[in-house]
Amino acid sequence: MTQMMLQPINSSNNYFSTVVTFDFSWGADEEAPTGMDEDMIENLKGSSDEGVYAWVVANYALGTLGGDPSETTGIIELGGASAQVTFVSREAMLPLFSRTVKFRNVTYNLYSHSLLHFGLRGW
C-alpha cells in the first residue's frame, strides 16, 4: 500500500475506485459476496499499522500471540516502498510510534515505525 503514496493522486483514486466496485469470485462451494462496501476498505497510507498487522500475523503463526509479551518476536516487514519495524517495548514511547494490541486478555505495547523509501522499490 505504501507504493500508492508514490503515485499521483489521480492514479491512487482510480485504483481505489476499482477496488471498491470489484466483485470477488469465490470457490464453487462458497457463497460469493455481492461486492465490497466502501466501509470495508482501509488505506493504511504507509502508516506503522502495516507493521502492527504483520507483527500480529507473525506472532499468531509462531504461537506466541496471547502469551507473555516478552516471549513475542519482533518483525521487520519489507514492502514495496517502505519497511516496517514492530516489536514489544517495555520503554515509554512517543505516541507517534506507540500502538496497543489486545489479544486474549493480554495487552501488548508495541513500538511500530514505517520507513518510507526503504522497501523493495522505495528508491
Q: Would you say residue 19 has pLDDT above 70? A: no
CA nearest neighbour of 73 among 90, 49, 91, 55: 55
CB crowding 40-72: b at 16 or more within 10 Å, else e = eeeebebbbbbbbebbbebbeeeebbeeebeeb
The predicted structure's pLDDT at residue 35: 58
Please state which of the ranges 17-21, 42-46, 115-119 shows the lowest mean pLDDT: 17-21
Where in the chain are the domains? 2-40, 49-116
Q: Would you say residue 117 has pLDDT above 60? A: yes
Q: CA-CA distance, 20 to 16, in Å (whole number)?
A: 6
Query: Within 37-112, where are the H helices?
Result: 49-62
Catalytic site positions: 50
Q: What would the pLDDT profile of 33-75 be if each residue is shown by its tens digit? A: 555 555 555 555 556 788 898 999 999 999 999 999 999 999 9
Q: CA-CA distance, 88 to 90, in Å (whole number)?
A: 7
Q: What would the pLDDT profile of 70-113 be if each residue is shown by its tens digit? A: 999 999 998 888 889 999 998 888 888 888 888 888 999 999 99
CB 25 within 8 A of CB 34: no
List the binding residues for ATP: 80-84
List the binding residues: 80-84
Q: Which long-range contacts (CB under 8 A, 24 or more apart) does 67-74 make?
A: 67/106, 68/106, 69/106, 69/107, 69/108, 69/109, 72/108
